[in-house]
Amino acid sequence: MRKAPFVLLILLLASVLPSWCQDDSNGYFSPEQLDNLLAPIALYPDPLLAQVLVSATFPDQLDEASRFVRANNDPNYIDEEPWDVSVKAVAHYPTVLFMMADKLDWTTALGQAYVSQSTDVMTAVQRLRVEARDAGNLESSPQQEVREDGGYVEIWPAQPQYIYVPVYDPGMVYVRQGGYFAGVSFGRGFFIGAWLNNDFDWRYHRVYYHGWEDGGGRGWIGRSRSYVHINNVYVNVNYRNVVINRTVVNRSVNYNTLDRYHSVHRDVHYDNVRGNNYNRTVINNNRPENKIIDRNMNVNDQRIDTYRGHQPEGWRAQPNRPDVNRPQPNRQETFRPQVNQPQPNRPQVQAPEARRDNSAFGGNRGGFDPNAASQRGHESRNEAAKPAPAAKPAPRHDDNKDRRR
């Protein structure tokens, strides 16, 4: 009988531990959070989306590649850079590269999700694609081929030489809209090259390296193979195992910036994201780390927080007029020595009583008397306004008098 409580405790733990372990193994993001995180890219073509997910684990290289591509218009130089092969692939599509580099917190969170819960990420992509298809906003077109294989929705390039990056509103494309178009549109096409060396194996929830060995002409790979120039930069036995940067999970992210990605689930926030040692990691006075800020300023300078939250006395903010009442710098005191101080090679001058100046420029004007100056100006204007005295008539010249002489 004494063993009964112990047995009951074991049974209770056995019923609780599986769900607890499963919750921990599911990763850091909930399904709703993943939907919001992946909504902007879930409708990308498979070969492009595969490169985006892998490259998201290299946010620093994406940032560097973005600056490189902005400065160099020739894509041929991309192959010579020391970035991961997935980053090089994305760099051939500037619109995608710039989007990822300009949203580094989102990109880093995407990479962390892919490293920690790749199966959940791919499940979320399929869930979103099904919603877009059922809403009538995802279908085949001259730019893309939408097909289903084994219950999985695949998106392939429809043309053998070009791939198109879709443009859509994540807040509208996954729900049925009545009365107006809310589907997918496309810009100009980009070349399909050897850099698109990855694809999805949806059945086994993985990104794999195909190396342009299409195995009999599978889908888009077979269509494009004859148009692709193969080189060892992207087709190499070293890429058979797709490499990801697992250290991205140690990178700090300002999760507050991710709240803007709520197009699918409006009431979902990221303030409860779980993680190892990167969960809301902050530095120096609870300031979230931001790579763009860190690159342009010294965030460890203590002077940054000297006047944080300080409101000058007498200052009152006004709506839509941010700096109207802010005190202006005293330029008289900043750039001119005070009158009471002795000047070199000049006799000391006794300053008159200081008068308070409430003008917009402020400051102590020393011996300047604004009232006296105003009076002098008033007298000068009155003097100028007086009519001029009449001119004396010129003496009249008598021509007859001259004749009589």
CA–chain centroid gap for 99, Å, is: 8
97: its two tokens: 């590269």
**SS3 state of residue 106:** helix
Q: Write down the pLDDT at residue 10.
A: 55
Residue 222 belongs to some domain of the structure: yes
- 397 in any annotated domain: no
Residue 380 within a domain: no
Q: Say if 337 falls within a structural domain.
A: no
Query: Is 80 domain-assigned?
Result: yes
pLDDT at 129: 97
* C-beta pairs of 247-250 under 8 Å, 24+ apart in sequence: 248/56, 248/57, 248/58, 248/59, 248/108, 248/111, 248/112, 248/115, 249/112, 249/115, 249/116, 249/275, 249/276, 249/278, 250/276, 250/277, 250/278
pLDDT tens per residue, range 186-238: 989 999 999 999 999 999 999 999 999 865 557 899 999 999 999 999 999 99
Q: Give residue 324's pLDDT.
A: 42
Half-sphere exposure for 181 (CA within 13 Å, toward CB): 6
Q: Full-prediction pTM beyond 0.95?
A: no
At residue 271, the pLDDT reads: 74
Q: What is the 3-state secondary structure (H, E, C) of 134-154?
A: HCCCCCCCCCEEEEEECCEEE
pLDDT at 348 (0 to 100) = 52
CA pair distance 212, 221, nearest whole angstrom: 7
* Count of the separate structural domains present in the chain: 1
281 in any annotated domain: no
Identify whether the C-beta of residue 160 lies closer than 8 Å to the C-beta of residue 117. no
Domain, as residue range, for 113: 26-260
Q: What sign results for the dihedral spanned by CA atoms 306, 309, 312, 318?
A: positive
Q: Under 8 Å CB-to-CB from 329, ≥6 apart: which residues?
A: none
pLDDT, tens digit, 9 for 90 and up, residues 53-88:
999 999 999 999 999 999 987 888 999 999 999 999
Residues of the chain with pLDDT under 70: 1-27, 178-181, 214-217, 274-378, 380-405
Those residues whose C-beta lies under 8 Å from the C-beta of residue 154, and which sit 6 or more positions away, are 46, 146, 147, 148, 200, 202, 219
